[in-house]
Chain A
Amino acid sequence: MVHWSPADLDALLCQLRDEGFRVIGPSVRDGAIVYTDIDALPVGVGDDQEAGRYRLRERGDKTRFGYNLGPSSFKQYLFPSREELFAYADGDIVPAPLDDEKLAFVGVRACELAAIQVLDRVFQGDGFKDRRYQARRQNLLIVAVDCSQSAPTCFCASSDDGPGVGEGADLVLTELLDDGEPSYYVRAGSERGAELLAASEADAASPELQGRARAVVDETREGLERLLPREGLRDALLGALDHPHWQELAERCLACGNCTQVCPTCFCSTAVEETDPVSLRVSHVRQWDSCFTAGHSYVHGGPVHAGIASRYRQWLTHKLASWEDQFGRSGCTGCGRCISWCPVGIDLTAEAEALRRTP
């Protein structure tokens, strides 16, 4: 456990790059915090969020992690929106090379770490293994950070996925603020993390600092505005398949798919064959899909989920109910992205509550 200055944090980014990592983290682009390749962390950036609305704001301090979640998630690096799986060329099937680049994710929040672990269950859990996901995952280094503030859309505490970072990160930071100047309480969560800390020349952290870090997380937890009580939720939703509220939802939901695309755990994909008209090479491409598209449930003659009511029902009951049967936990870690990034501000926590009530 050490105490870092912002300069120590910058030094970590350099060190990771020197060790051959591709460093992915937060960056301000087009009015939002997005994850991309970074050289430095944004300073003093915050955000205001509510259902269907997101705005950046200046915080007037020097925090590096004073924002909450933007539209992108780390999923896009482990499960890209589009990738070739294999090609058919000159009479042969040629698998696409595995992508085993060393990735370092910086600024991973508790709910996002939990989401990566949900994806682990999907792509490399018991049974089916996705070689492409595994290749990326095994070289991954995770630098996580406790949340010192939440957005009004956050509800991670409802499933115990945040706001304090759980097991599974290599390094965990807590950002502490003194008169607008940040410093970091840092601990290792793995051997690799411990090596990184050993290499740093920073001071050991005092017990007092550890107490402050705990208090920051407790305060954030108490400040959470949204809730999605999980007790009995699975049974309630699966018992509400004929609830009239689905029809009411169909009047508001656009079936645009944004919620599933921003969700850090949605894993649906579709495969297309793309013929290069010049070489006639056929490429088998996997790309993100969503239960809000007609193609997702298309069988001979038409889609099973033809209307918006049944598509929304598929999303909500899979995410919050049948996911548990499939993967042993809920598919939702409470990040709130689907609430902020729904163009018409549909809030799954409110909808789930409405569906619990008898009509």
Chain B
Amino acid sequence: MAEGGQLEAPKPRLAVFKFASCDGCQLSLLDCEDELLSLASAIDIVNFPEASREMLPGPYDISLVEGSITTAHDRQRIHEVRANSRFVISIGACATAGGIQALRNYADVDDYIKTVYAHPEYISTLRTATPIAAHVNVDYELHGCPINKHQLIEVLLAFAAGRRPQVAADSVCMECKARGTTCIMVTRGEACLGPITHAGCGAICPAYRRACYGCYGSKDAPNVASLAAWFHESQGRDAQELTAALCRFNPEVPALREEARKWRPDAAKKG
């Protein structure tokens, strides 16, 4: 990290920034509890409003960014974060793939505003919710809704040590089999997104007999079309169910978005 002697202190300085999101991902950092203290011996947490009111100014070595870009102000603010940070790491489904609020990208945002708010005139928002990487260069994306704290620690320790994080882009099925869970797609005909979803959660949903709903985004080389065809042809699910299954937490993952639009061309026009 002390590359080129740019840093005075050997410990990298960490900041946490929030955009449109629920705070769940940054709370994963607080959730580290025991590990947080030793993490603090490797990293200086200098700007983390959820943890401390003391917020030191940049530049920062590592900025964790949570949330998606949904307002004109945020669209500008993310460039300031980028300019002030050596590494930008986006964390969670919102920051990496738009999050649940990106469902608006498939609809007319004015319809939503009229339905939800008593005074639509107070609302100032972009028509879309977009991931951080759509606006600035991102050095690392950590997926999940919320992210897994062990993976977060691994990524932070790796950046602090100047090595590559060990976060494999394998399928959730790999974790599901490693823990000895019986496949609920094969035994119960569930529409499980595990075969196209990025590992990291430890296959927690199938372990509780619930289909994976894809909150960790896409694995490497996802074959969404084949899985969707199986849901349709072998499980008898219709286009409505299919698009709902594919687009929950990560609507802006390109592979999911394209497949959903094949099944619901009407949604494509509005988005």
Contacts and interface: CB of A to CB of B under 8 A. Distances in A.
B186 A254 contact: no
Contacts of A307: 221
A261 B187 contact: no
A290 B38 contact: no
A299 interface: no
B226 A253 contact: yes
Contacts of A308: 221, 223
Contact of B234 (A254, A287, A345): A345
B181 to A, nearest CB: 7
A71 B182 contact: yes
Chain A, interface size: which category? Answer: 35 or more
Contacts of B177: 71, 81, 257-258, 261-262, 288
A72 interface: yes
Contacts, number: 137
Interface string A226-268: 0000000000000000000000001111111110011000000
A90 to B, nearest CB: 16
Given A277-B39, A343-B183, A344-B230, A257 B174 contact: yes
A250 B225 CA distance: 11
B182 A32 contact: yes
A343 B182 contact: no
B187 A54 contact: yes
A131 interface: no
Interface residues of B, number: 44
Interface string A76-97: 1000011000000000000000
A293 B187 contact: no
A293 B175 CA distance: 12
Contact of A261 (B169, B174, B221, B222): B174
B53 interface: no
Interface of A: 29-32, 34, 52-56, 70-72, 76, 81-82, 250-258, 261-262, 270, 272-275, 277-278, 280, 287-288, 290, 292-295, 306-308, 311, 340-341, 343-345
11 contacts: A30-B182, A32-B187, A71-B182, A71-B183, A255-B223, A277-B42, A295-B168, A295-B169, A308-B221, A343-B195, A344-B234
Interface of B: 32, 34-35, 37-39, 42, 153-154, 157, 166, 168-171, 173-174, 177-189, 192, 194-196, 209, 220-223, 225-227, 230, 234
